[in-house]
């Protein structure tokens, strides 16, 4: 029989072990395609850096990072022939692709990770600053900051990664595209911060190459 002091020590040890668990453990709960999984891991790491630069608190950063780690789980429901299509998607195909944000929210439903910030990232990371995004076409600061942050890191990883329909771009080319979309697709303040500390993202990118 453990005494109160031993129980307290055990509780502290359990908490310590939980902190030592892989941050990617949550992905084990979903049967995620390898290429989607690796993309989400990279985006999660970029997101942690950017959220910290945007002066969010520890809880916010932790939840946004988890949201980024799950942001594309809805693509599990999208046919591979669409995700890996070599040519431009037609209108109907793009409509199908856009459903992945809502599919993701359904997959997340009733899970312990279904917290507001995580849900916002999954559902709203394709909204655009100018209101031309999806699924709702909301604009500016009506888009939660967690979704605005992940929209940037998601795009950065997509640009610097090889896809079936494109070669990977250099960090410099990716930055050029991101900056050109400041005030259109992306929050100008977030892009300014990303640009100011771009060396941090380039350093992380080099770890993946």
Q: Is residue 27 a contact partner of residue 37, using CB atoms and an 8 Å limit?
A: yes
Rg (CA), the chain: 18
Query: Contact, 2 vs 45, CB < 8 A?
Result: no
Return the closest-CA partner of residue 39 out of 126, 149, 163, 148: 163
CA-based nearest residue to 46, from 178, 185, 183, 181: 178
The answer to whether 75 is a known catalytic residue is yes
User: Looking at 75, 98, 106, 166, which residue is catalytic?
Assistant: 75
For residues 122 and 70, is the Cβ–Cβ distance under 8 A? yes
CB burial of 180-190 (b: ≥16 within 10 Å; e: otherwise) equals ebbeebbbeeb
166: β partners = 163
- Characterize 11-35 residue by residue with b for buried, 16 or more Cβ atoms within 10 angstroms of its Cβ, and e for exposed: eeeeeeeeeeeeeeebbeeeebeeb
Write out the catalytic residue numbers.
Answer: 75
């Amino acid at each position: 029989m453990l005494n109160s002091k031993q129980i307290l020590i055990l509780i502290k040890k359990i908490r310590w072990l939980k902190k030592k668990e892989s941050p990617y453990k949550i992905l084990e709960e979903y049967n995620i395609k390898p290429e989607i999984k690796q993309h989400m891991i990279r985006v999660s790491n970029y997101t942690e850096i950017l959220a910290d630069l945007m002066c969010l608190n520890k809880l916010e950063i932790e939840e946004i990072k988890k949201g980024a780690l799950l942001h594309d789980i809805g693509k599990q429901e999208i046919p591979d022939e669409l995700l890996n299509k070599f040519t431009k998607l037609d209108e109907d195909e793009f409509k199908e692709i856009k459903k992945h944000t809502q599919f993701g929210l359904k997959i997340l439903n009733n899970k312990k990770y279904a917290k507001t910030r995580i849900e916002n990232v999954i559902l709203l990371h394709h909204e655009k600053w100018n209101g031309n995004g999806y699924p709702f076409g909301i604009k500016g600061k009506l888009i939660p900051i967690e979704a605005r942050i992940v929209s940037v890191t998601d795009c950065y990883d997509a640009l610097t990664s090889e896809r079936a329909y494109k070669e990977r771009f250099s960090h410099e080319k990716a930055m050029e595209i991101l900056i050109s979309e400041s005030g259109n697709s992306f929050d100008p303040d977030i892009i300014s911060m990303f640009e100011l500390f771009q060396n941090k993202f380039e350093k992380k990118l080099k770890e993946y190459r």
